[in-house]
Structure 1
Amino acid sequence: MASTKRRRSKASKPKRRYRWLKFLFLLALVGAMALAGYMAYLDVQLRERLDSRQYQLPARVFARPLVLREGMAMHPDELESEFAALNYRKQKTLTEPGAWTHEGMNYRVWRRDFIHADGREPAAMVTFRLRNDEIDNLRDEDGQRIAEFRLDAANIGSLLGGGDDRNPVRFKDIPPLVANTLIAVEDQDFLNHFGISPRGIARAMVANIKAGRLVQGGSTITQQLVKNIFFDHKPSLQRKINEALMAVLMEIHYDKGYILQEYINEVWLGQQGARGIYGFGLASEFYFQQPLDTLEPHQVALLVGLAKGASYYNPWRHPQRALKRRNTVLELMREQGLITQAEFEHYSAKPLGVVKGGVTAQNPYPAFTERLLSELRPYYSYEELRTTGLRVYTTLAPSVQKLAEESISQGVQKLEKDRKIKANTLQAATVLLDNNTGNVLAMVGDRDPDYPGFNRALEARRQVGSLIKPAVFLTALERPEEYNLATLIDDAPVRIEEADGDVWMPQNFDKLAHGQVPLYVALAKSYNLATAHLGLDLGLQNVRQTIRRLGVDTSLPHVPAMLLGAVEMTPFEVAGMYQTIANNGETVQPRTLMAVSDAQGGRVQHFRPRTNRGVDPVPAYLLRWGLEQAMREGTGRRSAKRLPSSVPFAGKTGTTNNNRDSWFAGFSPEVTAVVWLGRDDNVRTRLTGSTGALPIWTEIMRKLPHQHGPVEAPRGVEFKEVNARGQFMDPDYCRGGYEIPFSYETHLQPAPECRGRDRWRWFRNLFGNERSEAAPREQMTPGWGNDTERRQYESERRHQMREQLRRDDAETLGGDSSLEPLELPRGQSTEVDYRGVPVEEAQPVGPALEDQWP
């Protein structure tokens, strides 16, 4: 009986094993089927997400591309500033695009491939020479002379970033050193495994134990990419399982190049407020202000090191920690043969080299960007600008912007120190426009140009003082039968009782009345009384219309004080007004926006400049000439010694009640610039236009390149010599007059002292050559072609002007000059003020202004 039980027991054991094996097989089958189903589910999720995934990219903003032209004015400093904005590297021998070199004044530049608004331009090389601050001998890489060569446009930021921001790079554009270093540090088996690497995990553990710290991770690059795309960073077993499964699936569907590209674009490498810095492309610009393909090994090592923890290794907050991590990566690069021992020693001794924190913001030019956004909003939604990666092409000139920023920041500090003004109380703004196109070349809205707060260039509406006066004189010059630059106007006291009982009694800056003065002298010296008399004679409404035709849309008060600047305008509006004068009377609406394309450079929308002919070229030129005299002998003369006299600068100071606002607006033949100084609390600054804004304006214009020589007068203008009474002095019969431009429609009375000096007049009368009592006048429609004799006459006059400019240069440098300075009629002196102190040295007592009204 017992033996029978033992036999049954022995027989039942195989059956039980079989049942267990069958159960385990079925369980495994069910598990495999469940796993397969789950992986199929994960596979659907993976492919749907990756195949339909689009980055949320803010619009990229580009500066205007620098176009090198034969004969173009260019300073070496300006050229190198443009190269710096483009992140071009200086090399001894050019080895790749994005580099430049020079020997003396001979330059060679290798342009990068770039997609402009009008199409792609491939990488190419150019050579040229800077001769007397002009581009000469411009040649392509084949040595052929060319008229112009366009560089690529600098990336100057992004719009409305916030959230995740990145600058994606394609696999073919990833520098080999970046890819190989990333693989060496993060996943040495990347090219061989199928998403997970047990050997890599074991090797990482050994390396970390040897180093005594975390130097390698166990996850593969594929796993890390899956985690970055699909999961948060909270550790859990479920996440690790899903991560491993999806990594295998990713390796099945996508090649190694795509996986590496996506990881390089997806990894988080820093934070700037609400803006996350994702991907090596943007991180390179964020930390070094350089494109990824220009980084050196120690910079690559820092970025790769940050992938382990950008916050922990933040190079600004924890520089020593970041330095140690960078050098650890350099050690691995040496071990993998990516750099030599000598290179390791060289690069590990370098500092971190990151830029100043915050400089590489998504919006490094807040004042300019504010205007740009206002021009974009009618055409693009907030969401489009924030997420679709549009390419926005602008007018900003990086070298001019840098110059404007430095001049404002340093100029304000210097004024506070020199004038004993409380530190950090002065504020400033400036706007620079291209005269011909209206393009905004630079804009600064704060003494700290990077500060993205209140933009004074666009939003600070302040009274403009004497800046409005050119509109009064222009109104007069548009009536050539009544007024010209030599017309005598009365600089006498003005008293007007207004309807509300107030009395308007303006005063001159020197508290003197100067009697009868030529119109251009009243403009150059900024005489308030003469301007008030002239404006009242012309009529307030006519002056208001002139201001409108100069492109000003702001509210204009209908009171006499408007004639002297009781008008509130922003620096941007003032710049537009003076650009019209500089552009021969044609208003070109100032703009920052040139074109917009999609992320690939297609579907381009161009934005054309809006123009309007508000003023005839002849009176515009006459006004310009008067403003040139303001720079030479009037309120802008303080800048004469610092500016080249061979460039015809023109401009006007502006000072308001109690010296609250200091203005200067002026232009060269190419550029209009406006500078404002004041305090946000509107407290007195003790600065006039000539002591505050003018020095900063001068510093900006002094460093910009300009074309030399006088501005060509338009058809309809002729130069004549007149005496102090504005009477024509025929140079054939008498000497001693001032040469002034006049409209052909102007009739001048001859000077009495020139009569009776032509002994042979009776002889010429026989042949019909009797001179008229009035000055000769061209018998043609004003503004149309000149004859040969007239062109020869104007050519001789221009030659005389150049000679005068050269003599003035000699006089400025201490040499002798036979030319006499601008004089007023006898008995009308402005050499001393009411205290007997020379005006040049006089300091105002009480509320002394250029423009003053109760």
Structure 2
Amino acid sequence: MVSTKRRRTRASTTKRRYRWLKLLFLLALLGALALAGYMVYLDLQLRERLDSRQYQLPARVYARPLVLREGMVMHPGELASEFAALSYREQAVPSEPGSWTREGMEYRVWRRDFIHSDGRSAGAVVSFRLRNDEISNLRDGSGQRLAEFRLDAANIGSLLGGGDDRNPVRFNEIPPLVANTLIAVEDQDFLHHFGISPRGIARAMVANVKAGRLVQGGSTITQQLVKNIFFDHKPSLQRKINEALMAVLMEMHYDKGYILQEYINEVWLGQQGARGIYGFGLAAEFYFQQPLDTLEPHQIALLVGLAKGASYYNPWRHPERAQARRNTVLDVMQTHGLITQTQYALYSTKSLGVVKGGVTAQNPYPAFTERLLEELRPYYSYEELRTAGLRIYTTLAPSVQKLAEEAVSNGVQALEKERHIEDNSLQAAAVLLDNGSGNVLAMVGDRDPDYPGFNRALEARRQVGSLIKPAVYLTALERPLEYNLATLLDDAPIRIEEADGDVWMPQNFDKRAHGQIPLYVALAKSYNLATAHLGLDLGLQNVRQTIRRLGVEAHLPRVPALLLGAVEMTPFEVAGMYQAIANGGEAVQPRTLLAVADAEGVRVQHFRRRTHRGVDPVPAYLLRWGLEQAVREGTGRSSAKRLPGSVAFAGKTGTTNNNRDSWFAGFSPDVTAVVWLGRDDNERTRLTGSTGALPIWTEIMRKLPHQHGPIEPPRGVEFKPVNARGQFMDPDYCRGGYEIPFSFETRLQPAPECRGQDRWRWFRNLFGRDRRDVAPREQMTPGWGVNPSEQQLREERRRQLWEQLRGDDAEEFGPAPGSEDEPIELPSEQGRSQPIDTESRDVPGEEVQPTGPALEDQWP
């Protein structure tokens, strides 16, 4: 009976166990099926995300590549600035791409491989000599002579700040020391595990138990990559499980090289405002301004150390903490044989060597970038610029931008100190253009060039004062039968009653009227009264049309004060106007954009140079010559002592009412530069154009390379000596006068003092026909200029005649070729002539009219 109960009990227990086992089996099966289904779901998510994965990359912006040419003018300091912008390292012997050396004035440079807008340029070595600021003996690595050699273009930032930013690298571009150090520090079993590392987990548990706190994690590089791509960083058991499962799946589908590549591109390594610094490629630029493949072991150690916590080990905020972490990584590198003990001793004592915080901002040149975005918007959407990884090739010249920034920042501070102006009250802007191409070489929109706020170069519309006067004089010079540079203008008081009852009575700065003065002197010394009389005689509408033909699109008021500068323009617009004068009347549209390519540099869109000719070359040249005199003898003459005399600089000062705005706009044969100074509240600065903007302009132009020698006049221009009344003094008959250029259409009156002095005519005939037998100028085809052979023959005749004539009689034929002409004389108030006084006055100021809009250059 008992045994029967026991058997029944045993059978019942067996059935219950079987049922439980069956239930457990079913549950396990269901769990396995659920897990498999979940794994399939995770696998679909993983593969869909990774197979179609594209980084959302902001557009990369590149400066113009420096092209070295035989005979090119360049300063050593400018060359060093270009190398610094490229992050080229100076070495005793160039040992790798991105390095250079200098022995005396002999240079050797190893260019990096780079994708330009017209194709890839492979890494190569070039050598050259820089003697007297001129490049010569340009040769490649094998010693073959080169006409030119193009370096790679400096990465100057990216467009549209905020969000994740990275500079992805491919696996074959990852330096082995970076990969091996990362594996040694983060995941020593990386090459052997299948996504999760039991050994790593056990090692982390032991370390945490010994420390009594969490000091080490057991996540593999694969798990960390999964976390960075798919999950946030909030700790949870569910997230850890998902990480492990997806890590296993990732290892099933992708090889170790791909996983390591993606981790190196994905890991967060810093923050700059709203901009996240992701990946080792961008971090190398952000912290060291160097490409990843040029980093030294201690720099690599710092970046690998930051992967543990970029905020905690921030090298700018916590340098001691960052250095300790770096040295820990260096110790690991030594332990694993990646560096020697000697190297460890050397690198562990080095400073962190990080660059100034923010130097590699997304927008390091905010003024320039604003204009660049304006040019891009018609062609690319905001989303494309923010995410498509486009390569933007621009016109910015890093060395020119650097010296412009320094000149503006230092110049403003110096003016405030020297002239006892309130600290931080002055603001400034500067624009520099390449004359021939229209390329914007540099742009500064604030006294603090890095400040991304109000861009005064593009947005500050201020009255330009006397900067508008060249348009008045150009209008006159386009009428060669009526006006020329020697035409006498009436610098006399003027009074105009306008329709609204206002009275316009401009004055010269010195409150004096100067009587009859040559046109070019009125321009050089910026006399208001002479300019107003001339403009009214020409017609206000004609002057307005000339301003338009010079490329100005700003609003032009239909009032007489326009003639003296009652028009508001930005520095960028002024630069375009003066560049048209510098180009001999051909306006080239200023541009910052050269080309755009996709992320691989394959599909390229080029942007062509756009030009239009609004002014004939002959009057444009005559105006340029007049503006050269403004720099040499007029309101800009304070710059002449600091600029090379062999360069044809030209320009114009501008000051507005109550000295609110200080301007200087000028150019060399190569570059046009405009500088503006003022206050944002439009209060008085106590600065004129010559005391404020001109010194900064001079400092910029002084350090730039320029073409030396006089500007070649166009066909249709000849130089003739004239007296103070603008009458022709034929050198074959009399001496003296001042030689200035004229259009061949100009008919000059002969000077009375030169008539009848032909006693040497018989002698002149020995060397050719009499000058009076030459066809009159008006019978020559206007605009076609001097016959070169005839001009050469004339000069040779004159030289021979001078050599044969000795003694006092030689003076009948004018000064010896090559000697200085006598200075031109101005009529006195009594009608007698008196020499121009170029020495007895102080540094020129500018003329400001006391009534009406602010307008004039000052001449004390």
Change (3 A) 1:732 1:52: same
Aligned partners of 1:572 and 1:651: how far apart in 2?
16
Q: Deviation at 1:31?
A: 2.5
Instruction: Spell out, residue by residue over 1:509-557, the C-alpha distance to the aligned partner (whole angstroms, 9 max, x if none).
Output: 2222111111111111111111111111111111111111111010111
Which residue is equivalent to 1:222?
Answer: 222
Which residue is equivalent to 1:174?
Answer: 174
Partner SS, residue 361 of structure 2: coil
CA contact (8 A) 1:506 1:529 kept: yes
Equivalent residues in 2 for 1:23-62, closer than 5 Å: 23-62=23-62
Instruction: Spell out, residue by residue over 1:313-356, the C-alpha distance to the aligned partner (whole angstroms, 9 max, x if none).
Output: 22222222222222222221221222222222222222222222
Equivalent residues in 2 for 1:336-355, closer than 5 Å: 336-355=336-355
State the one-letter code of the partner of 1:627: L
Q: Does 1:780 align with 2:787?
A: no
Which residue is equivalent to 2:619?
Answer: 619
Equivalent residues in 2 for 1:405-804, closer than 5 Å: 405-761=405-761, 769=770, 771=772, 779-783=780-784, 786-790=787-791
Aligned partners of 1:279 and 1:625: how far apart in 2?
56
Change (3 A) 1:130 1:320: same
Aligned partners of 1:409 and 1:207: how far apart in 2?
54
Equivalent residues in 2 for 1:67-82, closer than 5 Å: 67-82=67-82
Instruction: Spell out, residue by residue over 1:154-193, the C-alpha distance to the aligned partner (whole angstroms, 9 max, x if none).
Output: 1111111321111111111111121111111111111111
Aligned partners of 1:302 and 1:423: how far apart in 2?
40
Q: Deviation at 1:821?
A: 7.7
CA contact (8 A) 1:747 1:774 kept: no
Change (3 A) 1:596 1:318: same
Instruction: Spell out, residue by residue over 1:86-110, the C-alpha distance to the aligned partner (whole angstroms, 9 max, x if none).
Output: 1111111122111111111111111
State the one-letter code of the partner of 2:783: P
Aligned partners of 2:792 and 2:394: how far apart in 1?
40
State the one-letter code of the partner of 1:151: L
Q: Deviation at 1:455?
A: 0.4
Change (3 A) 1:10 1:213: closer
Aligned partners of 2:490 and 2:323: how far apart in 1?
74
Q: Deviation at 1:310?
A: 1.5
Which residue is equivalent to 2:133?
Answer: 133
Aligned partners of 1:842 and 1:524: how far apart in 2?
12
Aligned partners of 2:468 and 2:755: how far apart in 1?
41
CA contact (8 A) 1:747 1:775 kept: no
Aligned partners of 1:273 and 1:388: how far apart in 2?
22
Change (3 A) 1:777 1:136: farther
Instruction: Spell out, residue by residue over 1:434-461, the C-alpha distance to the aligned partner (whole angstroms, 9 max, x if none).
Output: 0001110000000000101110000100
Q: Deviation at 1:841?
A: 8.3
Aligned partners of 1:427 and 1:598: how far apart in 2?
38
Aligned partners of 1:532 and 1:276: how far apart in 2?
58
Report the TM-score, using the length of structure 2 for normalisation: 0.92
Aligned partners of 1:20 and 1:842: how far apart in 2?
105
Which residue is equivalent to 1:806?
Answer: none
Aligned partners of 2:33 and 2:120: how far apart in 1?
53
CA contact (8 A) 2:97 2:111 kept: yes
Aligned partners of 1:67 and 1:795: how far apart in 2?
41
Partner SS, residue 651 of structure 1: strand
Which residue is equivalent to 1:378?
Answer: 378
Aligned partners of 1:852 and 1:619: how far apart in 2?
25
State the one-letter code of the partner of 2:613: R
CA contact (8 A) 1:748 1:774 kept: no
Which residue is equivalent to 1:809?
Answer: none
Aligned partners of 1:791 and 1:42: how far apart in 2?
88
Which residue is equivalent to 2:388?
Answer: 388
Change (3 A) 1:276 1:700: same
CA contact (8 A) 1:431 1:673 kept: yes
Q: Deviation at 1:744?
A: 1.1
Change (3 A) 1:147 1:741: same
Which residue is equivalent to 1:813?
Answer: none
Aligned partners of 2:511 and 2:821: how far apart in 1?
27
Alignment gaps of 5+ in structure 2: 800-817
CA contact (8 A) 2:587 2:611 kept: yes
Which residue is equivalent to 1:825?
Answer: 826
Instruction: Spell out, residue by residue over 1:558-595, the C-alpha distance to the aligned partner (whole angstroms, 9 max, x if none).
Output: 11111111111000000000000001100001111111
Change (3 A) 1:720 1:832: closer
Aligned partners of 2:404 and 2:210: how far apart in 1?
55
Aligned partners of 2:130 and 2:679: how far apart in 1?
42
Instruction: Spell out, residue by residue over 1:401-447, the C-alpha distance to the aligned partner (whole angstroms, 9 max, x if none).
Output: 11111110000000000000000000000000000011100000000
Aligned partners of 1:230 and 1:158: how far apart in 2?
26
Report the TM-score, using the length of structure 1 for normalisation: 0.93
Which residue is equivalent to 1:244?
Answer: 244
State the one-letter code of the partner of 1:466: S
CA contact (8 A) 1:526 1:635 kept: yes
State the one-letter code of the partner of 1:657: N
Equivalent residues in 2 for 1:143-292, closer than 5 Å: 143-206=143-206, 216-292=216-292
Q: Deviation at 1:24?
A: 3.8
Change (3 A) 1:763 1:434: closer
- How many residue pairs match? The answer is 833
Aligned partners of 1:402 and 1:210: how far apart in 2?
55
Aligned partners of 1:213 and 1:34: how far apart in 2?
35
Instruction: Spell out, residue by residue over 1:814-844, the C-alpha distance to the aligned partner (whole angstroms, 9 max, x if none).
Output: xxx98478544252679889xx994548999
Which residue is equivalent to 2:63?
Answer: 63
Change (3 A) 1:365 1:256: same
Instruction: Return 307-316 or 647-656, whichever deviates more.
Output: 307-316
Partner SS, residue 80 of structure 1: helix
Q: Deviation at 1:23?
A: 4.3
Q: Deviation at 1:683?
A: 0.6
Which residue is equivalent to 2:808?
Answer: none
Aligned partners of 2:773 and 2:384: how far apart in 1?
71
Instruction: Return 779-788 or 342-351, whichever deviates more.
Output: 779-788
Which residue is equivalent to 1:108?
Answer: 108
Change (3 A) 1:127 1:839: closer
Q: Deviation at 1:8?
A: 5.4
CA contact (8 A) 1:185 1:216 kept: no
Instruction: Return 765-774 or 472-481, whichever deviates more.
Output: 765-774
Aligned partners of 2:787 and 2:204: how far apart in 1?
87
CA contact (8 A) 2:390 2:599 kept: yes
CA contact (8 A) 1:166 1:282 kept: yes
Q: Deviation at 1:210?
A: 7.3
Q: Deviation at 1:205?
A: 4.4
Partner SS, residue 701 of structure 2: helix
Aligned partners of 1:67 and 1:845: how far apart in 2?
45
Instruction: Spell out, residue by residue over 1:11-60, the C-alpha distance to the aligned partner (whole angstroms, 9 max, x if none).
Output: 76666655554544443333222222221111111101111111111111
State the one-letter code of the partner of 1:537: D
Aligned partners of 2:846 and 2:566: how far apart in 1?
24
Alignment gaps of 5+ in structure 1: 799-816
CA contact (8 A) 1:517 1:824 kept: no
Which residue is equivalent to 2:802?
Answer: none
Aligned partners of 1:417 and 1:77: how far apart in 2?
27
